[in-house]
Structure 1
Amino acid sequence: MPPVLNNKYRKITPTLIAVGTIVTGVGLSACGVAGSPTPTSSSGPHSSAAIGVRQTDDAGRRLPFDTEFPDRWSSNNDGTSYEPCTQVPEEVVRRFGLDVESVSDVAGSNFQTARGCQWSYLNNELSFLSQFVGNLDRPQGGLSAHKEEYASTTWHPDIEIEGRRVILGSSDPSDCAAYVQSGEAVVITNVVLIKQNPPPIEAVCASAADFLRSTIDGIPE
């Protein structure tokens, strides 16, 4: 199940998401997690709609933006306490050539499964990397059940990072996502490269895996 993502030009399509985001037009089809989003209107990152809405993770760390979604944290993504938006160090974001200031919420509606952040590349603002979490439909089956459920995804050989199993999947030559289980959820690192001549899919997957490797110490098992 690759994810469903949104960049500044694309908003997540919740129905395509199960555990992830969908990169509309670029190919990331959904990956399995349950939940149906409830659309919420918005009028800007600092609008009055955000007043009184939770803006911090479980540890009290402030999001890098104002969310207007009262159910950004919900039963669709509470399988892990990991919050990419507050736990991915800026140093890591910069190291991968991403624009720290471009950070945005992966969610495009309230009560969405995907919970996390997205960053554009400094040298190509149409390309982006995102990391987000979403609950597994069958957590007892782990990543194997997830792969079975999303058999239409192109799954590449599994890898291991810090002793943990990581699965790699893509649905388009320009994107690849790395998945690691965390509690009853999965953490997805997705790379989408919008280029006339994108690099080989192996290189795209390696980039997603490298970013996950740089953040995995903060992701609880």
Structure 2
Amino acid sequence: MRGGAVDGGLLDIDRHYEASGQHQFGVAVGVGHCEFATSGVEHIDGPHPPPNHWNDGTSYDPCFGYSAEQIRSWGLDPSKVTDVGAQDPQLRGCQWKGLSGGWTAELTVANTKVSAYLDPELYNNPQPITVAGLDGVIYQGRVASVPSCTVILPSQQATVAVVVVVVDVQEAQDVPDPCAKSKQVAAAVAPTLPK
């Protein structure tokens, strides 16, 4: 099936993207409850915003690039997904809850350069990192009670962030180190990114 059910109707996704010049993975744009048969995302409540001037530097769409099995292999629940772009128009991507329930992982796109994330005034302990041949940056969150870690990777004229946040240390015992988990997910994501 090419398209998605939007509030009971079928939206011709491909025609929309071809007309706008932004064809990607067959992603639905609309409002309401969306269901897709094109990836591991079973549904996203609310709209899936199209790329905009803050996040259109890559054709990569984190929400629809992976199967449910791939998402599950990272320790995430493919049925518990939130579209981050609906909440923050500067980002495009999705957040999944961990299978244990105590942590989340987020894949987002922004039109920034990798080098911007090396600024220690803005990011906590940023360090260069190479993941699957891509030169990126890794940095930690600033709130000790909510451990987090982000890996930034290049994709075309944008960056992709792999953000792991431990929201409940007791429940997230399967993620004792958010940076190790962020690197693990980034290693799986990096080969799929458009150059």
Scaled by the length of structure 1, the TM-score of the pair is 0.63
2:25–2:65 Cα contact (<8 Å) kept:
no
Gaps of 5+ in 1: 1-44, 137-141
Q: Larger deviation: 175-184 or 62-71?
A: 62-71
1:107–1:114 Cα contact (<8 Å) kept:
yes
Number of the residue aligned with 1:5:
none
Number of the residue aligned with 1:81:
59
Shift of residue 218, structure 1, vs aligned partner:
0.9
Check if 1:213 corresponds to 2:187.
Answer: yes
1:106–1:115 Cα contact (<8 Å) kept:
yes
Number of the residue aligned with 1:167:
137
Q: Is the strand fraction higher in 1 or 2?
A: 2
Cα distance, 1:90–1:192 mapped onto 2, change above 3 Å: same
Whole-angstrom distance in 2 between the partners of 1:202 and 1:144: 28
**Matched residues, percent identical?**
23
Whole-angstrom distance in 2 between the partners of 1:87 and 1:181: 16
Number of the residue aligned with 2:97:
120
Check if 1:90 corresponds to 2:68.
Answer: yes
Shift of residue 196, structure 1, vs aligned partner:
4.0
Whole-angstrom distance in 2 between the partners of 1:204 and 1:109: 23
- Structure with bigger gyration radius: 2
**One-letter code aligned to 2:103:** S
Cα distance per residue 1:157-216 (max 9 Å; x no partner): 3221122112111223311110011122110000011224677x9921111111011121
Gaps of 5+ in 2: 18-22, 29-35
Highest relative contact order (Cα 8 Å, sep 6+), 1 or 2? 1
Whole-angstrom distance in 2 between the partners of 1:70 and 1:97: 24
Shift of residue 46, structure 1, vs aligned partner:
5.2
Whole-angstrom distance in 1 between the partners of 2:51 and 2:103: 26
